[in-house]
Amino acid sequence: MYCSWATCPDFISMNESDLLPHLFRTEYRKMVSVLSYLFGIEHIETAEDIVSDTFLSATESWSIKGIPENPAAWLYTVAKNKTRNYLRHHTVFEQKLVQQIQITTEKTAEINLDLSDQNIKDSQLAMIFTICNPAISGASQISLALNILCGFGVQEIADAFLSNKETIYKRLKRAKEKLKEDQIKIEQPQLSEINHRLETVLTTLYLLFSEGYYSVSHNTTLRKDLCAEAMRLNFLLLENPKTNTPAVNALFSLMCFHSSRFEARIDPEGAAILYEDQDEQLWNKELIEQGIHYLNQASTGKNLTKYHLEAAIAYWHTHKANTFEKWDNILQLYNQLLVLEYSPIIAMNRTFALTKVKGKPAAIQEAEKLNLANNHLYFSLLGDLYTGIDNQKALLHFNKALEMASTPLDKKVILKNIGKLQSLPPSL
């Protein structure tokens, strides 16, 4: 399993109250993808309705008759029957599918809804490229991916974006309508389409993973689910020869390295633990090994992407020892990354490595050039850099960060730093 902290529990050990939500997360997305692949993007709501009705039937039946021996197979059978019934009673669908899958009206009731593993993978791959379409915004792509490909409900998506249900509902509705208006087809991507759109797909998966890994919601379970789903979708790309490119391997490597330190990054209350304070024993060695494997797989080809560089930076962070070699390598990788794709946030992150290589004064000089006045992490960084050099300035920066922080747990971390600072002797 590529994500050891997201392994699925055994059906046998789960009761009904745990099983149905688990199956909704794992099977809903598969069935919606297959039905959408069959019906077309213009009928995606119908696909969602059929699958939702299938789970409603499961709730009613299982509460009376008990959980069937193979719950997933039961859901697939009921979904097939509901699809046949729907097609039988809706002439528009009959006419559409007669043309597209070449069946007669008399045989509509015998349609074989293919829910094999291979067709599920094919359907989800097609849906990834459909959803990650530049016709809709990046936020809409992530929301649709969470909803359709990952089985997240509107409330869960709202929690992930620190938004509300109404906003997310409208975003999903507008995105689906835009895809319909542009008559985007759900189909297996051709090589030319992969070359043209794969970068957008990877950007969406990168942002999806980041939403979990760097989420400010501090909902630990939700954050893990977001990361696990991004890794699952990335792995679908790795399994398909057409999409198994060096960049895809590099992104998966990056996800492995980052998720390997997930348990060490947060305390029991959900507050962030700084890198130097993390317990190395909590790092997942299996995921680190997988990260190294996929980073080696990414080394083929001629194109160097930001995912290669970020994965290499994350690799060095799996070495806890504070050696000059480690931090100098990280600094050089950040330098390359800034040349390839400049970002003030990347530049801010670079200053930590710069501190280790050239000292705090040099890092302060570089950090102050950034002037990220609207970012509380920037002022926390300056507070840390000035600690021991000018503690009064450090305190001013930490207090500024405290004013700007939006969550109680962020404020708790900053207050902890202020407490440490106030316990130090006054600096000259």
Residue whose tokens read 């869960």: 156
Q: Which residues, 6+ apart, have CB-to-CB distance to 290 below 8 Å? A: 2, 253, 256
pLDDT digits (tens, 9 = 90+) for 166-188: 999 999 999 999 999 998 888 88
CA distance 274 to 277: 5
Alpha-helical segments (H) within 279-323:
285-297, 306-316
pLDDT of 195 over the 70 cut: yes
pLDDT score of 389: 93
pLDDT score of 352: 93
pLDDT of 4 over the 50 cut: no
pLDDT score of 106: 41
**Cα 204 from chain centroid (whole Å):** 8
pLDDT digits (tens, 9 = 90+) for 327-355: 999 999 999 999 999 999 999 999 999 99
pLDDT digits (tens, 9 = 90+) for 202-227: 988 998 888 788 765 555 655 788 88
Name the nearest CA neighbour of 36 among 105, 160, 124, 99. 124
Neighbours of 90 (CB within 10 A): 15
List 272's β-bridge partners, or say none: 266
Tell me which amino acid residue 98 is.
V
Sign of CA dihedral 286, 292, 295, 296: negative
Provide the 3-class DSSP secondary structure of residue 272.
Answer: strand
CA distance 88 to 86: 5
CA distance 312 to 296: 10
Residue whose tokens read 């747990």: 409
Neighbours of 158 (CB within 10 A): 20
pLDDT score of 318: 95
CA distances from 191 to 195, 205, 238, 261, 297 (A): 6, 20, 15, 35, 20
